[in-house]
């Protein structure tokens, strides 16, 4: 199970790192958007939210790749991954497989480190 966790953690880290670096350094041209996708992205652009989301993705991707602060990275990245899955499920189904991989991988890593989360749920 340890090898599976390392593989999943590394793949998630690479995917998050790739997504954040390509956005932050504008390595690929932005495709033309229309409809609901354009409205969604314009809403995020007004408050510059995508920049902050990509910075969080970058930090969590580095944490997954290095193996440090993984327990914290799993908690921090979960709402972003959930948003990715819901966005692709509702608006753009083409990207759903990557989102589902991130969600399942994140849940797998959270399950692997479940002992680290036990104090959060204990009553004192």
Element (H, E) at 7: helix 2-24
Average pLDDT, the chain: 94
Mean pLDDT, residues 23-41:
90
Task: Please state the domain extents for the chain.
Answer: 2-121
| Per-residue pLDDT at 124 exceeds 80 | no
87 contact partners, CB below 8 Å, separation of at least 6: 40, 95, 99
pLDDT of residue 31: 85
pLDDT of residue 94: 92
Q: Are 87 and 39 in contact (CB under 8 A)?
A: no
Element (H, E) at 40: helix 36-46
What pLDDT digit, counting tens, does each position of 36-72 carry?
Answer: 999 988 988 899 999 999 999 999 999 999 999 999 9
How far apart are alpha carbons 108 and 13 in whole angstroms? 14
Element (H, E) at 100: helix 96-112
Q: Are 17 and 61 in contact (CB under 8 A)?
A: yes
């Amino acid at each position: 199970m340890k090898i599976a966790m390392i593989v999943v953690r590394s793949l998630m880290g690479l995917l998050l790192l790739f997504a954040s670096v390509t956005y932050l350094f504008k390595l690929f041209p932005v495709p033309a958007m229309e409809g609901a996708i354009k409205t969604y992205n314009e809403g995020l652009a007004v408050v510059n939210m995508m920049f902050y989301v990509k910075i969080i993705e970058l930090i969590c991707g580095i944490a997954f790749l290095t193996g440090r602060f993984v327990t914290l990275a799993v908690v921090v990245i979960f709402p972003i991954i959930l948003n990715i899955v819901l966005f692709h499920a509702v608006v753009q189904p083409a990207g759903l497989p990557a989102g589902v991989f991130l969600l399942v991988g994140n849940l797998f890593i959270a399950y692997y480190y479940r002992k680290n989360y036990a104090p959060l749920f204990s009553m004192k």
